[in-house]
Amino acid sequence: MPATTPTEATTAAAQTTADSTAHSLRYAWYVVGVLTLLYAFSFIDRQIFSLLVGPLRRDLHIGDAKMSLLIGFSFALFYTFFGIPLGRLADVYSRRLIIAAGLVLWSGFTASCGLAQTFETMLLLRMGVGVGEAALSPAAYSLITDYFPRDRLATAISVYSMGIYIGSGLAYLLGGLVVAYASTQAMWTVPLLGAVHPWQMIFLSIGLPGIAVAPLLFTVREPSARPGTARRAAVPMRQVFSYIFKNRRTFLLHNIGFGLLALSSYASAAWVPEFYRRNFHWAIGSTGVVYGSCVAIFGCAGIISAGRIADYLRERGRDNATLFVGALIGLVGIAVNCLLYLAPSATWATFWLVAGCALAAAPFGIAPAAIQQMMPPTMRGQASAVYLFSINLIGLGIGPTAVGALTQYAFGRDDAIRYSLVIVTSVACGLAAVFLCAALKPFLASLERVRVWNAAHSA
């Protein structure tokens, strides 16, 4: 039998390495698929409120301002504040177990919203949904970053972030159909609960299935360097915030800039169904189908395209590509939002809604990818939680409420929602472009700083 030559041995080893890498990447994409599914579930639970503004205002006896608190602020407050300690846990404990516990919690609270009889009860339950969902993204970002090389990270996180638009699209699309069907009866009879309103049936229907998919997380492995059951030494919060402070200019400009883009996106997501109902007299079912289809299709296209463009530019030497693409999104968003919300007809509004959905989605993959790029591995979960704290407090906490408050208190009439939307979204996009342009240079300095840190700690 002829001996194996050094060249043949090298070729065989290279082939084995290539096969192993391909297998690892296939499994990595499977992990992204599971996490994307869970993210979609979270946004179905989160966005269904936008289709139920009319019934909830009627049965809970509230106006647009209180409705906006249910849609945005009550959820965002607890989502953001609990995100930081849960992000810290993601840097220490099994991330899949943290996500599983959060999934069961937020799904249970969503189903419980179907039992609420007063505004105060609904407010408390929405806070609970926020606590549960805070467990997902810091742990998910950290897992994905461990599985993917840096030159594919923006695309991988963008695919995960597609869950926002798959979930939101399904919430509007299926939710609109379910709302239309459920509304055919004034009350529904549920075993053990008795007679319930149609909107209560909807919360029960979308909350309970989330609990059923929790076992899927046990097919997700922690990367071998981080066994799922092993406790690792926690990086002290003081050290994390000390590192963030050294990069404070980058963090501040990044988080405010992308937070303002999120403000525009969340304001639109909360009130576009009511914009169509109040200004063009569309039925909720029709609005859900049109808006849900646009969000699911063009939202996914927008977020993936932004990630691919950022990766493409980064491969060609623009290390700050994620922030550069974010600034462009803000500039284009000003024009698109004005054309959408001031459109003279539903046809023209829907034409511009396609571009609006793509642009609204685009930042949500590149923004967390930038945080992962500039942070040491042992701090990514906590840094992601700080990022989510900022972006959701600004975006989800202020966006829907600003539109609701302007409509109710400044304009004083329901059909003026179009002017509230154009003011809030256009101003937010313009300011976002300014902040992200200012962040381009500091971001490069932060990338150099993390290279030095990684070199020092790998030696």
| Per-residue pLDDT tens over the stretch 138-157 | 889 888 888 888 777 778 88
Q: How many domains does the chain divide into?
A: 1
Is the pLDDT at 395 greater than 60? The verdict is: yes
Q: Is residue 291 part of a domain?
A: yes
Q: pLDDT band at 343, cuts 50/70/90?
A: very high
Q: Is residue 121 part of a domain?
A: yes
265 part of a folded domain: yes
Q: How many CB atoms lie within 10 A of CB 205?
A: 17
Q: How far is CA 326 from the centre of its chain?
A: 15
pLDDT class of 372 with cuts at 50, 70, 90: confident
Residue 123 has pLDDT above 70, yes or no: yes
CATH, residue 42: 1.20.1250.20
- Residue 130 within a domain: yes
Calculate what percentage of the chain has a pLDDT beyond 90. 40
Query: What are the respective helix, strand and coil percentages of the chain, to the nearest 5?
Result: 85, 0, 15
Token duo for residue 168: 């939101």
List, for residues 50-86, the tens digit of each pLDDT value. Answer: 778 878 888 888 888 888 888 878 888 888 888 878 8
Write the DSSP assignment of 319-375 as a string of letters. Answer: TTHHHHHHHHHHHHHHHHHHHHHT-SSHHHHHHHHHHHHHHHHTHHHHHHHHHHHHS
Whether 30 maps to a domain, the answer reads yes
Q: Domain of 366?
A: 26-218+237-458
Position 166 in a domain: yes
> Residue 326's pLDDT is what?
96
Looking at residue 197, what is its pLDDT? 77
User: Is residue 231's pLDDT more than 70?
Assistant: no
Of 73-77, 103-107, 228-232, 276-280, where does mean pLDDT reach its minimum?
228-232
Residue 307 lies in a domain: yes
Over the chain, what is the mean pLDDT?
85
Instruction: Tell whether 13 is covered by a domain.
Output: no
Q: What is the pLDDT of residues 292-339, one digit of tens each?
A: 899 889 988 998 899 899 989 998 889 999 999 999 999 999 999 999
